[in-house]
């Protein structure tokens, strides 16, 4: 699953990083939202970022008054990709999806130890 990095001049630190366990996340002007944005053109609960049934990250409009726009298109639901630009109210949000780091060790066959009793104890020696 991907990490989601949202960048906007409206965010206190300029960016927000979301992980799968942070989703769904509601964006809007209400203090009850997961991501509160001070923008008078936003609905109290404007849109939602969530994981869909296919395991992909998507943004969904929550029947907002002023629409959710992605890449200059009014959307109901949109599967997010790196480079997408979300416009809600007067707030522009840039999207970056970053693959979670795989915990598997990346070893070449030279680094792998052979089973005991084989001719060479290390591959490549």
Give residue 115's pLDDT.
59
Q: Confirm if 44 and 62 have CB atoms less than 8 A apart.
A: no
Concatenated DSSP letters for 55-121? S-EEEEE-S-TT-EEETTEEESEEE--TT-EEEETTEEEEEEEEEPPP-S----GGGSBPPTTSS-S
pLDDT digit string (tens) for the chain, length 125 residues:
579 999 999 998 999 999 999 999 999 999 999 999 999 999 999 999 999 999 999 999 999 999 999 999 999 999 999 999 999 999 999 999 998 775 444 545 555 555 555 555 555 55
């Amino acid at each position: 699953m991907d990490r989601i990095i949202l960048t906007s001049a409206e965010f206190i630190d300029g960016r927000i990083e979301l992980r799968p366990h942070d989703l769904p996340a509601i964006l809007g002007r209400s203090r009850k939202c997961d991501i509160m944005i001070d923008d008078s053109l936003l609905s109290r609960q404007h849109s939602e970022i969530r994981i869909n049934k296919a395991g992909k990250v998507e943004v969904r409009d929550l029947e907002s008054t002023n629409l959710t726009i992605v890449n200059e298109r009014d959307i109901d639901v949109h599967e997010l990709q790196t480079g997408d630009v979300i416009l809600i109210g007067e707030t522009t949000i840039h999207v970056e999806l970053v693959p979670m780091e795989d915990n598997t060790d990346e070893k070449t066959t030279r680094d792998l130890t052979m089973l005991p009793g084989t001719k060479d104890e290390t591959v490549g020696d």
